[in-house]
Amino acid sequence: MRTDQTSAGRPAPGGGGGTRAAVLGSPIGHSLAPTLHRAAYAAMGLDRSYEAIECDEPTLPALFDSLGDDWAGLCLAVPLKRAVLPLVDEVSDLALDVGGADTVVFRHGRSFGDHTGVHGITTAFHQAGLRAPGSAVVLGGGAAACSALAALREVGVREPVVVVRERDHAREAEAAAGRLGVSVELRHFGELDRLLRGVAVVVSTLPAGAADTLAPAVAHSGAAVLDAVYSAWPTRLAKAAGFAGSTVVDGLSVLLHQTVRQIELLTGLTDVPVAEMRRAARDELVRRAARETEPAVSGGKLL
C-alpha cells in the first residue's frame, strides 16, 4: 500500500475494506482505544477486531507494508502520526497542516491518512458551550498543542498564546501555526499570571501532573479549562477550575469524540454509540485505578 509520493487531498473515505484495525505506538499498553473501539463494535453488532500493537518509528514501515486486505485501517499515537505521512497514498489537508495523521484507512488497495483529534476537541468544545471563546492560552507546544491550535481556529481563535518552558519546546506548534494560518504568541510559564488575565479558555496539553502547580493561577483567572489528561481524572487543574465555578472539559470527552470519528472512517457508519463507549471507558479506568492501589503479594504475604 506504500507509494513514492504523498499528496494532499480529500479526507479519508469512510469504510475500510477489511475488518481488522489496531492502534500503534510505543508504549501502547495504556491506550484506551481498544476498549472504546470494541465497545462500539459490540453495540453496533459488527464482527470486527481491534488490538493494540507495540510499534516504534523504525519498525513502522515494515509493519505498514505487511498488512493485507483484511485490514480496515490503523490508529497511531505520537510520534507515529508524523512518521506515517510518507507511507500513505493520500493525506488530508488537515493532517498535513497539523503535522500528522492519527488515522489511516485502507480501501481498494490504497491508504488514506486523516486527523481526528481536532474533531475530538471541537466537539468537546461545542458540547461544553464553547463555540466562540474569542481568546485562548495553550499550555505546551508539542503534537497535542498542534491539534489544539487547529481546533481553536475552528472556533474562531486566530491569535492564541502558546506557553512553554523553553522556546525549543514550541517548534512543532509554531510550525503547525504557520501551516494553519494562525498567529501564535509564544510565552514562558513565568508570565502565566499576566497572560491569563481576561482569557476565555485555557487548553492544557501537558502530561498528567505537569500542570498541578499552575492550577491556582488558572482557576483564579475564571477561564474555561480543557485538560487533555484522561487517565488520572480529575486532575488538580480540573478540580481547581471546577471549584472556582469555571467550565471544565475532560480529556476523556476529547478522546471519545476523536474515536467516534475514527470509527466512522474505518466502518463508513455514522450511528456510533457514544454512551456505551463512555461507559466502557470509565469502567476500564476504574479497573486500572483499582489495580494500581492493590498491595503487592508474594508467597501469601504483603510486600
Among residues 124, 154, 93, 128, the alpha carbon closest in space to that of 259 is found at: 124
Give the three cell numbers for residue 272: 456510533
Could you please report the per-residue DSSP string of 244-299?
TT--EE-HHHHHHHHHHHHHHHHHS-----HHHHHHHHHHHHHHHHHHHHSPPEET
Name residues whose C-beta falls within 8 Å of residue 296's C-beta, 6 or more positions apart in sequence: 302, 303
Could you please report the per-residue DSSP string of 128-152?
TT-S----EEEE--SHHHHHHHHHH
Give dist(CA 260, CA 169) in Å, integer: 30
The one-letter amino acid at 43: A
Q: Where do runs of H (alpha helix) occur along the chain?
A: 33-44, 60-66, 80-83, 93-98, 117-127, 143-154, 171-180, 192-195, 215-221, 236-243, 251-267, 274-293
- Give catalytic residues, as residue numbers: 81
Give the three cell numbers for residue 228: 487533555
Q: In which order are the strands placed within the sheet that holds 248-249?
A: 185-188, 161-164, 136-139, 201-204, 224-227, 248-249
Quickly count: other Cβ atoms within 10 Å of residue 214's Cβ: 21
Give phi and psi for 244, each to the nearest 5: -80, -5
- Phi/psi-derived region of residue 183, left when phi > 0, alpha when psi is between -120 and 50, beta in every other case: beta
